[in-house]
Every structure is written in C-alpha cells, then in structure tokens.
Amino acid sequence: MARKIADMEFLEQMNLYAVDNIQPDVVFYLDVSPEQGLSKALDKSGGDRIEREGVDFQHLVRQGYIELASRHKDTFVVVNEGSIEEISNRIYGITKRRLMND
C-alpha cells in the first residue's frame, strides 16, 4: 500500500517523525518470496487487507524493503529463506557478533 501512495524518502521521514527519530541498532528483514508468504497467509486466515492486494503488490513491498536494506546497510540484515532452525542460528550468530563488537 505504501508504495502506491508515497516514495521511499517520504515514508522514511514519516517513520522518523512517528518514532521521534529513534533508530534501531539492527533490523532483521526475513526475505521470503511473496508467493510463499502469501500462500501461508492465505491458507491460515484468508488474508488481511494487505495480503489480499495480491502477489504483484507483495513484490513491490518486498522491493521497498530491499531498497531500505541497501540504503541502511549498517542497520538492516537481510536473512534469506531457510528452515526455522537455520534462520534462528543466523540471527543468533549475527546478534552475538554485534554484541561482542559493541
């Protein structure tokens, strides 16, 4: 929805205002294909308003997050698909390294 009404720069400024300029130390973006994500969401509940926008819209949303991640490489960590254990281990390892370096 957001990509339909505003550009990324405007959305980032609105978000900063909404959170009083507080920035996270790290953001984990779990990069799941829109097809897979929608399949799971629609199977469970029939989908919410955003999920019912369809797969093309979900690709736009994903591109928005990929763009954010590329703009904020020091904060965003893109975690690709995998089993729950693999994803958990990746996030744990990254978090541990970051904590040890601070």
Residues 6 or more apart whose CB falls under 8 angstroms from that of 76 comprise: 26, 27, 29, 68, 69
In a domain, 36, yes or no: yes
In a domain, 66, yes or no: yes
In a domain, 79, yes or no: yes
Report how far residue 99's alpha carbon sits from residue 2's, in angstroms, rounded to the nearest whole number: 33
In a domain, 15, yes or no: no
What is the span of the domain harbouring residue 56? Answer: 2-6+26-101
Whole-number pLDDT of residue 95: 94
In a domain, 94, yes or no: yes
In a domain, 42, yes or no: yes
Stated pTM of the model: 0.77
In a domain, 80, yes or no: yes
**Through-space distance between the first and last CA atoms of the chain, rounded to whole angstroms:** 37
The structure tokens listed for 26 are: 């790290």
pLDDT tens sequence for the chain (102 residues):
444 556 778 888 888 899 998 988 899 999 999 998 888 777 777 778 888 888 898 898 899 889 889 989 999 999 998 999 999 999 999 999 998 986
Q: Give the count of domains, the chain.
A: 1
Report how far residue 57's alpha carbon sits from residue 27's, in angstroms, rounded to the nearest whole number: 22
Element (H, E) at 77: strand 76-80
In a domain, 16, yes or no: no
